[in-house]
Amino acid sequence: GGGSAGGSIVLEGSEGEGEAKPKKGSIREERRKKRAREEEEKALAGAEEGEQTCILYLDSLGGHRERGIMYLKWYLEEEYKNKMARRAGASSSSAEAPPPVDDPKFRLMETKEVKAPRQHNHSDCGLYMLQFIEKLAKHASALKPPLENTPHPSWSAYEELRFGKEDVRQMRRDMKRDIQLLGEQQAGGA
């Protein structure tokens, strides 16, 4: 297979370290929940001008999986609905179930297929996915223009994202070494 990575979906908490947790039902707790909800909605909507929340689809085998994207959007929508229902239930003091959330933002979310490096066999899917994740984690915030804001995104258009077969081979060697070391450590400690 291939992997897909979501771009620009950032959900952050708003509690600072060392802060006393507000009492359940207090005005302070309600304000904290409201701030968290507003931050989440901004992140999902793309609060910055020119920022776009979308799904970036990367497949090192070169396929396009419309059904997989459909299921991913369905999963994200269900997770969001469940989270919003739990949040509404937690803030409600009545015994009634919270109203259902019907929000099509994930169904309508744009999917951009990124022209990605191709693997040369059918066994390196996971290694390519890890390379995609590692490169995005390290460099996504510095990409100009952001990958998700380009009309036809291409992985190779960004020097900092590029990798090749040798990088994948090295990752395999590193993983093998790490697994062997962990096995030796576990055997020695048992």
pLDDT in tens, 44-101: 554 455 555 788 889 999 887 888 889 888 898 888 888 888 887 766 555 555 555 6
Residues in contact with 86: Cβ distance below 8 Å, sequence separation at least 6, in sequence order: none
Going by the DSSP 8-state scheme, the letter that residue 180 receives in this structure is: H
Residues in contact with 59: Cβ distance below 8 Å, sequence separation at least 6, in sequence order: 1, 2, 3, 4, 65, 113, 116
Q: Does the pLDDT at position 138 exceed 90?
A: yes
Q: Can you give the pLDDT at residue 82? A: 86
- List, edge to edge, every strand of the sheet that includes 54-58: 3-7, 54-58, 111-113
Q: Can you give the pLDDT at residue 134? A: 93
Residues in contact with 135: Cβ distance below 8 Å, sequence separation at least 6, in sequence order: 160, 161, 163
Q: How far is CA 72 from CA 45, 100, 111, 135, 161, in A?
A: 18, 20, 11, 22, 24
What's CA 6's distance to the chain center, in Å?
Answer: 4
On average, the pLDDT of the chain sits at: 77
Q: Does the pLDDT at position 132 exceed 90?
A: yes
